[in-house]
Amino acid sequence: MKIEDKLFLDRFRVEEESHLKITDADKCKQCEDQPCLNLCPANVYRLEDGCIMVNYEGCLECGSCRIACPKLNIDWNYPRGGFGISHKFG
């Protein structure tokens, strides 16, 4: 089962604006490991043309990207109240 299919099972109320922001895109280019690309359980961070894109819509709100970013380059906020994922079973 692919990650896209897993996320398709979940219920999201998507905000117009991302609650995850990369503070300085240049820092990501200098980052060798880019752990966000692998450890995010929702595959939010994807490399496109050498740039890290933030697909915040499927974020599971665990916070891992924020604290695992070697450069602490992710401005991580909770989505606005009532937005983001809503667990059905939990």
Partner 1 sequence: MNETFDVAIVGAGPAGISAAITLANAGIKTVVVERGEYPGAKNMSGGVLYGHDLGQILPDFTKIPGFPIERNIIESRIWYLSKEAGISVGYRDSIFAGERKQNVFTVGRAKFDRWYADQARKKGALIVPATVVLDLIRENGRVTGVQTGRADGDIHAKVVLIADGVNSRLAVTAGFRPDVKPEHVALAVKEVIELAPEIIDQRFGVSDGNGVTTEILGAVAGGMDGVGVLYTNKASISLALGANLADFSKTKLKPYDLIETFKKHPMVAPLIAGGKSLEYTAHWLPEGGYDTMPKLYGDGYLIAGDSAMLFNAPHREGSNLAMLSGKMAADTIIEAMKTGDFSAKSLSAYNTKLSESKILQDMKKYRGFGGFLYDHKEIFETMPEIVQFGGRELLTVNAESKKTKQDKIIKKLRKDMGIPRFVRLMWSGFRAVK
Site for partner 1, rule CB under 8 A? 1, 3, 6-7, 9-10, 13, 33, 35, 38-39, 41-43, 60-64, 66-68, 77-82, 84-90
Nearer to partner 1 among residue 18 and residue 64 (C-beta):
64
- Contact residues for 61 (Cβ-Cβ < 8 A; gap 6+): 78, 79, 84, 85
Distance of CA 31 to the CA centre of its chain: 17
Q: Scanning the structure block, which residue is given the tokens 């939990």?
A: 90
Instruction: Please state the closest distance from residue 73 (CB atom) to partner 1, in A.
Output: 14
Instruction: Please state the closest distance from residue 44 (CB atom) to partner 1, in A.
Output: 11
